[in-house]
Structure formats: structure tokens, C-alpha cells
């Protein structure tokens, strides 16, 4: 008889934790979930709202070097130190160039320039966080307060609360022996309270796994310096290798972006280039060309799972690195965290699942509040009935 009593007390305490976490952080969790749900489809939303930036008339492309020079000339902060080019994925799409003056205190935000690849003409430029899609991502990741701020920390603690929600909810939902047939049943026609109760527990049970994945990966993204060291102690997760350096031989000029692309295509002939990171000024970094193979279906690697490091001066290949060649632990900790958070690791189906999971906290908050208020009303009615009984 002792064990059932202990389990009953444990269940009551877990129910209290679950209830009061929901009442205190439910609104914030619902907000973070809603903005995250919409942010899953950020690229599609941005293209829908800004067609003039993302689309251009199909035409014979100009040299990529001209595209990069047009973007650098449009940078409002002068000569940038960081230049990352994303090539058009299909005909009729623009090329986008992400630029930054420098990194560190006092640096300016990233600037994005869209260029017509057929003419080299600038179609427009902006700060990414000023777009509607960028604002949604900022709301989700740091409540529009700024990265590395109290807003980002608060969002990280929402991830911790989400883990507690899921674990406590699963504990209370877990059916006893023989109860699996009715564990996911939603009964209608038995009153609003029963319907709300079944919707609450069934939604939480069905979406517990993607919600746990979103919470865990969100914690790693917000608190990497706290989470990654203990994980490295448990799994074989070496950090990504350092990028090689170019050799600036005396009197040698930097090669063009088009030359670097030709070298990368020859190094990985079964893939197409999708993005190029280009060092600027007197930097000795390599030109990093990312390529995507035809059999790479995962959305996370839409920019490519292979990277070719091309010497900026000699056009020699320093390294060809493929994602699948890294240890599984390293990919788990450094490659899979963000695409798991967004669902991109499972292509479109994963993104849809994460979008639905992002809506779940709002439904759980609504049904949970309804159940709590109904119980309060019932308890108040019972107290008033007992108080009136002697009279």
C-alpha cells in the first residue's frame, strides 16, 4: 500500500509544477512558439513579401566577380571585411550578398544586397533584421531586444520550461496497463470540460517529441558555452576543423571569384556551387566555396554539404571537406542542432511538423487555462455549498 501512496503524492506534486509553470510562463511559451512556427517558413515568407528583391528576368549571367563588386559598392559602411555570396538556385532568381564592416564591439549590423545576375544591377539592399521575416526571427530568438541580451536569456529559460512541461505532462498522461486504447481518444458530446481535457492531454502527448527537440536544441543555441562542454565529455564531438590559410606570395594578385568557382567545380564535379565566402583586403583566408550534390535532399544542406577551400592567390585547393566525413558526434553537436530546431533536417515534412509543434503551446495554454478556471469555479461552488449547509 505504501508504493501507491508515494506515487499518488509524486503525481500531485508533478501536477502542481506542471500547472504553475503553465500559468506563469504559458503566455511567453505560446508567444515564442507562435513566432518560431512562422519563422520555420521565413525564406518563403520573405520571397512572397519582397518579390522585387528575390526575382530577376532570366538572362545570360555576367561574371560573378561583377556581381560581387556591385554589392560591395552598395555597402553603406565602406569596404566590408566579410562578404558571403549566395548564388541563384534557379533561373529568374537574384543573387544575394551578405556584407559586414567588421566583427567585434562597435561593428555595424549585417547588410544584404540583392543583385541581378544577368546584368550585375543592384535590385535593392537592406539590413536583414529590418524585414518582416527578420523581425519574426528576432522576436523568436531574443524578443527583439538584441542578441546576447536578457531577451535571449529569457527565451533560453522558456526552453528549459518547455522540457519540464513535456516531461511532467508525459508522466501524467502515460497510460496504465491496458489503457493505451483510450490514451489518445478525444471524446465529444460529453461536455466542454471533458473535450478540453482530452484535447490538452492528447495534443501534448502527440507533439511531445518535437516539442522536446525544440526545447533541447533551443537551450543549446542560447547557452552553448554551458551545454556543449558537458556534451563533449559524453560524446565524441570534436569542433569543426580550422579553415586553412592562403599564401600571399609577393607580387601575386588575388584570383577572381569566377576562377575560384571553376576550381571548386573541378574538385567536386558531381555538385553545383551554391555559396561563396570571399576574404577581403589583405586577409589570408581561403575562398570557401560551398557545393550541393544532386542526391542531397535535406533542406539543411540546401546550400551544400561540401566545402572547397581555394587558395586566394595560387588557386590551389587546400581542402575539400564534406559533412558526412565528420564524426557523428561532431555533426550532432555542430551541424544538426539548428536544422533540428527548425525541422529542416527532415526536409519539408520536418518543417511542417515543427510548424505544427510551434502552435501547440497556444492550444495547450488555452485548454489548460479553461480547465483551471473550471476547477476553480467548481471548488468555489463546493465551498459555498458547505458554508450554506448549516443554515
The CATH code of the domain that includes 112 is 3.10.450
Residues of the chain with pLDDT under 50: 1, 299
Residues 212 and 359 grouped into a single domain: yes
Given 112, 130, 148, which residue is the final one in a domain? 130
- Amino acid 1: pLDDT: 47
Residues 83 and 210 grouped into a single domain: no
- Amino acid 391: pLDDT: 55
Residue 333 covered by a domain: no
Residues 92 and 17 grouped into a single domain: no
Residue 375 covered by a domain: yes
Calpha distance 310→316 (Å, rounded): 6
Given 101, 130, 159, which residue is the final one in a domain? 130
Residue 275 covered by a domain: no
Residue 224 covered by a domain: yes
Calpha distance 41→342 (Å, rounded): 9
Residues 114 and 159 grouped into a single domain: no
Residues 84 and 226 grouped into a single domain: no
Q: Which pLDDT tens digit goes with each residue over 60-100?
A: 999 999 999 999 999 998 889 999 999 998 899 999 999 99
Cβ–Cβ under 8 Å, residues 204 and 196? no
> For the chain, how many structural domains are there in total?
2
Residues 233 and 212 grouped into a single domain: yes
Alpha-carbon distance values, 330 to 20, 231, 235, 270, 334 (Å): 38, 11, 9, 25, 6
Given 105, 130, 155, which residue is the final one in a domain? 130
Q: How many angstroms from the chain centroid is the CA of residue 246?
A: 32
- Amino acid 183: pLDDT: 83
Residues 38 and 144 grouped into a single domain: yes
Predicted model pTM: 0.88
Residues 150 and 226 grouped into a single domain: yes
Residues 231 and 87 grouped into a single domain: no
Residue 79 covered by a domain: yes
Q: How many CB atoms lie within 10 A of CB 27?
A: 14
Question: Which range marks the domain in which residue 168 is found?
Answer: 2-42+136-237+346-384
Phi then psi dihedrals of residue 183, to 5 deg = -65, -30
Residues 92 and 211 grouped into a single domain: no
- Amino acid 324: pLDDT: 82
Q: Which pLDDT tens digit goes with each residue over 99-114?
A: 998 887 778 889 999 9
Query: Exposed/middle/buried for 8, CB within 10 Å: 0-12, 13-18, 19+?
Result: exposed
Residues 9 and 68 grouped into a single domain: no
Residues 378 and 230 grouped into a single domain: yes
Q: Are strands 306-310 and 111-115 parallel, antiparallel or unpaired?
A: unpaired
Residue 123 covered by a domain: yes
Residue 112 covered by a domain: yes
SS3 readout for 224-273: HHHHHHHHHHHCCCCCCCCCCECCCCCCCCCCCHHHHHHHHHHHCCCEEE
Residue 276 covered by a domain: no
Amino acid at each position: 500500500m505504501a508504493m501507491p501512496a508515494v506515487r499518488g503524492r509524486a503525481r500531485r506534486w508533478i501536477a502542481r509544477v506542471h500547472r504553475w509553470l503553465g500559468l506563469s510562463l504559458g503566455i511567453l511559451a505560446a508567444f515564442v512558439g507562435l513566432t518560431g512556427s512562422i519563422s520555420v517558413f521565413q525564406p518563403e515568407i520573405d520571397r512572397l513579401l519582397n518579390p522585387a528583391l528575390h526575382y530577376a528576368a532570366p538572362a545570360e549571367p555576367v561574371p560573378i566577380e561583377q556581381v560581387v563588386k556591385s554589392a560591395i559598392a552598395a555597402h553603406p559602411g565602406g569596404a566590408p571585411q566579410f562578404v558571403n555570396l549566395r548564388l541563384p538556385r534557379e533561373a529568374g532568381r537574384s543573387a544575394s550578398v551578405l556584407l559586414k564592416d567588421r566583427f567585434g564591439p562597435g561593428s555595424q549590423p549585417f547588410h544584404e544586397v540583392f543583385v541581378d545576375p544577368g546584368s550585375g544591377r543592384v535590385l535593392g539592399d537592406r539590413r536583414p533584421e529590418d524585414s518582416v521575416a527578420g523581425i519574426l526571427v528576432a522576436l523568436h530568438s531574443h524578443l527583439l531586444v538584441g542578441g546576447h541580451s536578457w531577451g535571449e536569456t529569457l527565451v533560453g529559460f522558456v526552453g528549459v520550461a518547455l522540457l519540464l512541461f513535456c516531461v511532467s505532462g508525459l508522466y501524467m498522461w502515460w497510460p496504465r496497463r491496458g489503457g493505451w486504447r483510450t490514451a489518445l481518444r478525444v471524446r465529444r458530446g460529453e461536455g466542454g470540460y471533458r473535450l478540453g481535457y482530452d484535447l490538452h492531454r492528447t495534443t501534448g502527448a502527440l507533439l511531445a517529441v518535437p516539442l522536446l527537440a525544440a526545447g533541447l536544441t533551443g537551450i543549446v543555441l542560447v547557452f552553448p558555452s554551458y551545454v556543449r562542454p558537458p556534451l563533449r565529455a559524453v560524446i565524441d564531438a570534436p569542433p569543426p576543423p580550422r579553415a586553412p590559410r592562403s599564401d600571399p606570395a609577393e607580387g601575386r594578385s588575388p584570383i577572381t571569384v569566377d576562377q575560384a568557382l571553376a576550381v571548386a567545380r573541378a574538385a567536386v564535379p558531381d555538385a553545383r556551387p551554391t555559396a561563396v565566402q570571399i576574404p577581403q583586403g589583405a586577409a589570408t583566408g581561403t575562398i570557401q566555396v560551398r557545393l550541393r550534390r544532386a542526391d542531397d535532399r535535406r533542406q539543411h544542406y540546401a546550400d551544400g554539404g561540401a566545402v572547397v577551400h581555394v587558395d586566394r592567390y595560387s588557386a590551389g585547393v587546400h581542402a575539400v571537406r564534406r559533412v558526412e566525413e565528420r564524426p557523428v558526434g561532431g555533426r550532432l553537436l555542430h551541424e544538426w542542432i539548428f536544422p533540428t530546431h527548425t525541422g529542416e533536417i527532415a526536409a519539408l515534412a520536418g518543417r511542417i511538423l515543427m510548424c505544427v509543434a510551434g502552435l501547440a503551446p497556444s492550444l495547450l495554454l488555452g485548454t489548460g487555462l479553461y480547465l483551471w478556471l473550471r476547477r476553480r469555479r467548481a471548488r468555489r461552488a463546493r465551498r459555498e455549498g458547505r458554508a450554506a449547509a448549516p443554515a
